[in-house]
Chain A
Amino acid sequence: MRDDPHVVALVTRASGGDQGAWHELVDRYAPLVYTICTRYRLSNHDIEDVGQNVWLLLVEQLGKLREPAALPGWLATTTARECLRVVTAASKAERLGTGLDDSVLFVDDAVIDEEILVAERNAALRAAFAELPPRCQQLLSMLLSDPPHSYADIHRELGIPVGSIGPQRARCLERMRRSSALAALGEGEDKIDIRGGEPGA
């Protein structure tokens, strides 16, 4: 993963006290932290607890992060550790009651590594999408909604002639492809399975 200049700037600004930059960092990485919590099948209460600890630890670490590129890895490892603490505590408590159950859910490192790659790719895609003109964002959102809107709906909502929707979609996607946000994606991306096109994938 290359150093994404945008993330480097966010970390620098946040550690200098810029609250807006902190909010952007949280928005960018909350899906990563949240997904790892769900991998451990935590309750909402425990997810909140883990989230609190992870973000508070990050706040304390902000000024000390030498390589902001390592941030997703740090967040993933810290989240996994906090999740493990919660499930281990729950398992201990249960063992006291029954004297039997020693099942603690472990999540493989490879799973966590893949979550990091997916989260980085998703964050870059969302950033590229956010850079698109509002018109493109509206069109792509309508095409991606579940269930997808028909071309007739899109024509009615956005006033684009039905015959122009296909070409406009292509132009918007081409803009995304050329965006600097996607340029930050590293070479490891091709290893990730992209389930293209399937609703809900």
Chain B
Amino acid sequence: MRNDWDDDRLLGALRQALRAREAVPSWFIETGRNAFAWHNIDAELAQLTYDSNEDRLQATVMRSETASIRALTFTSAHLSVELEVTGNSLLGQLLPAREGELEIHTRAGEISTTEVDEIGCFSVDPIPESPFRLRCHTADGTNVLTGWITI
């Protein structure tokens, strides 16, 4: 307890505390508040295990060569999600192959859905401009959520 602070010291400390809060932009607070929408999402999280951009950065440093296609892989215990950007669309496949439905969640909070065919393939077109994540519900009941993706 701050019994030992005199009035001026306490008031000075309070000024600092209130200013520190005022310095935080409201959009930053909103971002934090909105994150709660992801609380208790009933899905397995799939981690990013491969990103061609990482490879390309290293390859360019070594060989001055660039790959033309962006490829990403997300992996969870039961399913991996392979993604490839070609032109304006994003093609993907669930492995092992599963039929189901795919939800595209953008950071702005929009959700769209697309079908996953019987060999596990799907396409996302157009590619969202803001960061997005994919949630896959397969016919056998597996429910997987990827990390955030920026293309």
> Are A122 and B15 CB-contacts (below 8 A) given A53-B148, A59-B39, A173-B7?
no
Could you tell me the distance between the alpha carbons of A199 and B7 in the complex, rounded to whole angstroms?
Answer: 15
Could you tell me the distance between the alpha carbons of A63 and B14 in the complex, rounded to whole angstroms?
Answer: 32
Contact B29 A26 (CB under 8 A): yes
Count: A-B pairs, CB below 8 Å = 138
Residues of B17-44 at the interface with A, using a CB-CB cut-off of 8 Å, are: 17-21, 23-25, 27-29, 31-33, 35-36, 38-40
Contact A177 B31 (CB under 8 A): no
Could you tell me the distance between the alpha carbons of A140 and B11 in the complex, rounded to whole angstroms?
Answer: 8
Could you tell me the distance between the alpha carbons of A125 and B1 in the complex, rounded to whole angstroms?
Answer: 11
Contact A177 B61 (CB under 8 A): no
Report the contact-size class of chain B (Cβ under 8 Å from the partner). 35 or more
Q: Taking CB as reference atom, which chain A residue is nearest B6?
A: A196
Could you tell me the distance between the alpha carbons of A55 and B3 in the complex, rounded to whole angstroms?
Answer: 35
Contact A26 B21 (CB under 8 A): no
Shortest Cβ distance from residue A71 to the other chain B in the assembled complex, whole angstroms:
14
Residues of A91-144 at the interface with B, using a CB-CB cut-off of 8 Å, are: 92-93, 95-96, 118-119, 121-123, 125-126, 129, 140-141, 143-144
Report the contact-size class of chain A (Cβ under 8 Å from the partner). 35 or more
Chain B residues engaging chain A, CB cutoff 8 angstroms = 1-3, 5, 7-21, 23-25, 27-29, 31-33, 35-36, 38-40, 45, 57, 60-61, 107, 131, 148
- Additional 13 contacts, C-beta under 8 A, given A14-B39, A173-B7, A197-B15: A22-B39, A23-B33, A33-B28, A35-B23, A52-B131, A92-B57, A93-B57, A118-B20, A121-B13, A173-B10, A182-B1, A194-B16, A201-B15
